[in-house]
C-alpha cells in the first residue's frame, strides 16, 4: 500500500480500517487499489460511520424552518440559513440566486361526505388548485376508476357534479407506481372542468392506508387551474367506492387557497473549487422547498443533507479534487407555474442562468427520493465497461449498490433542464418502497428518517463524487464512443 500517495485523511482512515495483520503483511504485487479508489473508499467508510453532517443538516433544516413552501418566507429563511451554514463550513463561491414565481398558499379547508349520510372525509387541496366559493361546493359525485374513464365521459355529462377518480397507486421499490397517478393529478381538473364538473377529487398518490391526503401539484392550463381539486386518503377513497355502489354520494368541499404572482424563490449554490480544472463542474443537487403539510423531511431535506454531507466530506480532505463540485439546493421544485410547461422552477432558473457554462458541466445528479438505502446506480451513457465503472463498482458494491447496465436520459426534476441541454447524468437509486407512504403528507417529518440509511446514501455519493471529481473521465466522449443502444 503506497500510503505516501494517499491524502493524509484517506491514509489515516484506510490504515485504521485494516486489520493489524494486513498492515504487517508484505506488499502484494496484485490488484492494489489506486490512490483515487482508496480515497473514495476512505470517504465511503467515514460516511458509513456517521462522519458526515448529512443527518445534522437534515435535522436542522426541518427543525428550524418546518415546512418550506415554494416562495414562502420559510423557504427564503431556509435558503439564507443554508447559504450561511455552507459558508461557515468552508464552501466557496456561496451564492443565493433569487427568481420570481407564482406561489400558492393553502387556506382554511374542509371536506366531508354529506350524502347518503354525513361522514368525515380526509382530503387536502392539491397545490395550485383555486379556492372554492366561500360557502364551499356541495354536489353529487360521478366516480371513475381511471383517467381514461374520465376522458371517455361525454361533454356536459359532469355539469353540476364533482368528478372523482379512484385509481390506486401501486407500491414499487423504484417508485414507478407514482407516474400514472401524477398524470391523473395533473390533467384531472382540466378534463373534468371541460365536461362541466364543479370540482375534482382523486385518490391520493400514496401507498399508505392511513387517513392522510397526499398533496402535490396539479397542472396549469392556459395560465390557470380550472376548478378546485382535492386528494383524499386511501381509506376514504375505499369508503366512497363502497358508498357509490349503494347509490348516489354527495360531497362538500371548502378551500380558501390563494396565489401570489409576485413571490420570490431562491436557489442556493456552493462550491468546492477544483485544483486543476475548476471550470469543469460536477453538479449535484436536491431541493430546499417542500409541501406545507409536514416538515419536508424525506422530501427533500434528506436530499439536501445527503448531497451537502457528501460534498463536505470531500471539502475536509487535505487536497481538493481536480474538478469543481457544485452543490445546488434548488427552490420551488414542487410547484407548477402558470407560464411554464413544467414545475421544477429552480431547475429552470439555474439552467437559464448557466446556459454557456453547461457545456463545461461534467455530469449532474440529484437526490430527491427520501433517505432510504441506495441499491443501484445508473452511470452516464457509455460509461459501463470502462475503468471508471470498475472503480465505481469497487467502491460501491461493498455497501450494497448494484451496477445497472442501462443509463438514463433524465435524472430528476431539478437537474432536468440542465440535462436537457446535454449535461450527462447519473442516478443513485434509493429504495422507495415506503417513500409514498409519507410523501407530501403531514407525516413527512424528521423522525421517519433512518440515520444509518441516510449515512449509506452519503457514503455512496461521496465515493462516487470523488471518483469523478479527482479524475478526467469525460462522459460526453464516452457517450459518443458508445454503440447506439439497441432498439426495443
Footprint of Zn ion (CB under 5 A):
299-300, 368
Question: With respect to Zn ion, which residue has the nearer C-beta, 189 or 346?
Answer: 346
Q: Supply the minimum distance, in Å, between the C-beta of residue 350 and Zn ion.
A: 16
Question: With respect to Zn ion, which residue has the nearer C-beta, 60 or 300?
Answer: 300
Q: Supply the minimum distance, in Å, between the C-beta of residue 175 and Zn ion.
A: 11
Q: Supply the minimum distance, in Å, between the C-beta of residue 332 and Zn ion.
A: 11
Q: CB under 8 Å to 86, separation ≥6 — which residues?
A: 94, 268, 270, 308, 327
Q: Supply the minimum distance, in Å, between the C-beta of residue 287 and Zn ion.
A: 5
Question: With respect to Zn ion, which residue has the nearer C-beta, 271 or 444?
Answer: 444
Quickly tell me which residue has 447506439 as its cell.
484
- Judge if the upstream peptide bond of residue 116 is cis by omega within 30 degrees of 0: yes
β-pairing verdict for 258-272 and 277-287: unpaired
Report, in angstroms and rounded to the nearest whole number, the Rg of the chain calculated over CA atoms. 24
Q: Supply the minimum distance, in Å, between the C-beta of residue 448 and Zn ion.
A: 14
Q: Do residues 288 and 158 make contact, with C-beta atoms less than 8 angstroms apart?
A: no
Q: Supply the minimum distance, in Å, between the C-beta of residue 304 and Zn ion.
A: 10
Q: Supply the minimum distance, in Å, between the C-beta of residue 238 and Zn ion.
A: 27
Question: With respect to Zn ion, which residue has the nearer C-beta, 103 or 394?
Answer: 103
Q: In angstroms, how far is CA 384 from the centroid of its own chain?
A: 25
Rounded to whole angstroms, how far apart are CA atoms 406 and 475? 14
Does an H or E element contain 165, and which? strand 162-165
Question: With respect to Zn ion, which residue has the nearer C-beta, 37 or 304?
Answer: 304
Q: Supply the minimum distance, in Å, between the C-beta of residue 362 and Zn ion.
A: 24
Quickly tell me which residue has 382540466 as its cell.
190
Rounded to whole angstroms, how far apart are CA atoms 453 and 50? 10
Q: Supply the minimum distance, in Å, between the C-beta of residue 278 and Zn ion.
A: 30
Rounded to whole angstroms, how far apart are CA atoms 197 and 150? 11
Rounded to whole angstroms, how far apart are CA atoms 18 and 339? 57
Question: With respect to Zn ion, which residue has the nearer C-beta, 287 or 391?
Answer: 287
Rounded to whole angstroms, how far apart are CA atoms 488 and 480? 20
Q: Supply the minimum distance, in Å, between the C-beta of residue 378 and Zn ion.
A: 19
Q: Supply the minimum distance, in Å, between the C-beta of residue 217 and Zn ion.
A: 11
Rounded to whole angstroms, how far apart are CA atoms 74 and 352? 25
Question: With respect to Zn ion, which residue has the nearer C-beta, 112 or 450?
Answer: 450
Question: With respect to Zn ion, which residue has the nearer C-beta, 70 or 237?
Answer: 70
Question: With respect to Zn ion, which residue has the nearer C-beta, 219 or 287?
Answer: 287
Quickly tell me which residue has 475503468 as its cell.
387
Name the 3-class secondary structure at 223: coil
Rounded to whole angstroms, how far apart are CA atoms 227 and 229? 6
Exposed e or buried b per residue across 118-128, where buried means at least 16 C-beta atoms within 10 angstroms of its C-beta = eeebbbbbbbb
Question: With respect to Zn ion, which residue has the nearer C-beta, 42 or 454?
Answer: 454
Q: Do residues 467 and 64 make contact, with C-beta atoms less than 8 angstroms apart?
A: no
Quickly tell me which residue has 398524470 as its cell.
183
Rounded to whole angstroms, how far apart are CA atoms 132 and 321? 55
Q: Do residues 57 and 44 make contact, with C-beta atoms less than 8 angstroms apart?
A: no
Question: With respect to Zn ion, which residue has the nearer C-beta, 46 or 368?
Answer: 368
Nearest to 49 by CA among 373, 398, 467, 451: 451
First to last CA, the chain: 46
Q: Supply the minimum distance, in Å, between the C-beta of residue 435 and Zn ion.
A: 10
| The Cα angle at residue 403 between residues 398 and 408, in degrees rounded to 5 | 140
Q: Supply the minimum distance, in Å, between the C-beta of residue 288 and Zn ion.
A: 10
Characterise 48 by phi-psi region: left (phi > 0), alpha (psi -120 to 50), beta (else): alpha
Which grid coordinates are listed for 367? 437526490
Question: With respect to Zn ion, which residue has the nearer C-beta, 36 or 310?
Answer: 310
Question: With respect to Zn ion, which residue has the nearer C-beta, 351 or 468?
Answer: 351
Rounded to whole angstroms, how far apart are CA atoms 424 and 356? 15
Amino acid at each position: 500500500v503506497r500510503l505516501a500517495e494517499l491524502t493524509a485523511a484517506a491514509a489515516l482512515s484506510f490504515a485504521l480500517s485494516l486489520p493489524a495483520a494486513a498492515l504487517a503483511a508484505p506488499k502484494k504485487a496484485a490488484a492494489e487499489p489506486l490512490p483515487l479508489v482508496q480515497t473514495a473508499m476512505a470517504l465511503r467508510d467515514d460516511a458509513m460511520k456517521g462522519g458526515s453532517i448529512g443527518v445534522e443538516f437534515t435535522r436542522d433544516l426541518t427543525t428550524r424552518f418546518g415546512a418550506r413552501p415554494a416562495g414562502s418566507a420559510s423557504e427564503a429563511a431556509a435558503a439564507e440559513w443554508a447559504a450561511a451554514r455552507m459558508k461557515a463550513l468552508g464552501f466557496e463561491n456561496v451564492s443565493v440566486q433569487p427568481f420570481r414565481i407564482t406561489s400558492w398558499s393553502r387556506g382554511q379547508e374542509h371536506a366531508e361526505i354529506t350524502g347518503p349520510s354525513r361522514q368525515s372525509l380526509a382530503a387536502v387541496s392539491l397545490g395550485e388548485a383555486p379556492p372554492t366559493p366561500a360557502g364551499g361546493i356541495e354536489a353529487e359525485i360521478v366516480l371513475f376508476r381511471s383517467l381514461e374513464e374520465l376522458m371517455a365521459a361525454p361533454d356536459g355529462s359532469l355539469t353540476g357534479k364533482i368528478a372523482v377518480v379512484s385509481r390506486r397507486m401501486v407500491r414499487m421499490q423504484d417508485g414507478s407506481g407514482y407516474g400514472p397517478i401524477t398524470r391523473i393529478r395533473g390533467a384531472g381538473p382540466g378534463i373534468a372542468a371541460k365536461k362541466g364538473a364543479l370540482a375534482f377529487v382523486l385518490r391520493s398518490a400514496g401507498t399508505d392506508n392511513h387517513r392522510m391526503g397526499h398533496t402535490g401539484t396539479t397542472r396549469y392550463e392556459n395560465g390557470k387551474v380550472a376548478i378546485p381539486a382535492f386528494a383524499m386518503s386511501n381509506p376514504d377513497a375505499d369508503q366512497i367506492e363502497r358508498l357509490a355502489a349503494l347509490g348516489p354520494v354527495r360531497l362538500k368541499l371548502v378551500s380558501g387557497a390563494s396565489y401570489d404572482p409576485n413571490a420570490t424563490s431562491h436557489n442556493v449554490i456552493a462550491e468546492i473549487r477544483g485544483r486543476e480544472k475548476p471550470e469543469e463542474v460536477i453538479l449535484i443537487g436536491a431541493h430546499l422547498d417542500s409541501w406545507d403539510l409536514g416538515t419536508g423531511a424525506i422530501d427533500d431535506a434528506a436530499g439536501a443533507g445527503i448531497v451537502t454531507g457528501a460534498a463536505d466530506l470531500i471539502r475536509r480532505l487535505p487536497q481538493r479534487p481536480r474538478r469543481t463540485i457544485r452543490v445546488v439546493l434548488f427552490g420551488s421544485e414542487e410547484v407548477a407555474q402558470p407560464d411554464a410547461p413544467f414545475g421544477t422552477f429552480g431547475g429552470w432558473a439555474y439552467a437559464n442562468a448557466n446556459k454557456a457554462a453547461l457545456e463545461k458541466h461534467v455530469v449532474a445528479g440529484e437526490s430527491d427520493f427520501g433517505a432510504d438505502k441506495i441499491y443501484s446506480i445508473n452511470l452516464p451513457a457509455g460509461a459501463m465497461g470502462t475503468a471508471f465503472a470498475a472503480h465505481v463498482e469497487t467502491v460501491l458494491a461493498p455497501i450494497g449498490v448494484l451496477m445497472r447496465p442501462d443509463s438514463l436520459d433524465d435524472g430528476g426534476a431539478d437537474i432536468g433542464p440542465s440535462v436537457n441541454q446535454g449535461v450527462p447524468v447519473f442516478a443513485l437509486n434509493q429504495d422507495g418502497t415506503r417513500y409514498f407512504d409519507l410523501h407530501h403528507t403531514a407525516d413527512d417529518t424528521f423522525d421517519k428518517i433512518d440515520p444509518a440509511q441516510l449515512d449509506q446514501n452519503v457514503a455512496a455519493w461521496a465515493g462516487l463524487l470523488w471518483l469523478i471529481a479527482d479524475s478526467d473521465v469525460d462522459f460526453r466522449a464516452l457517450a459518443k464512443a458508445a454503440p447506439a443502444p439497441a432498439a426495443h
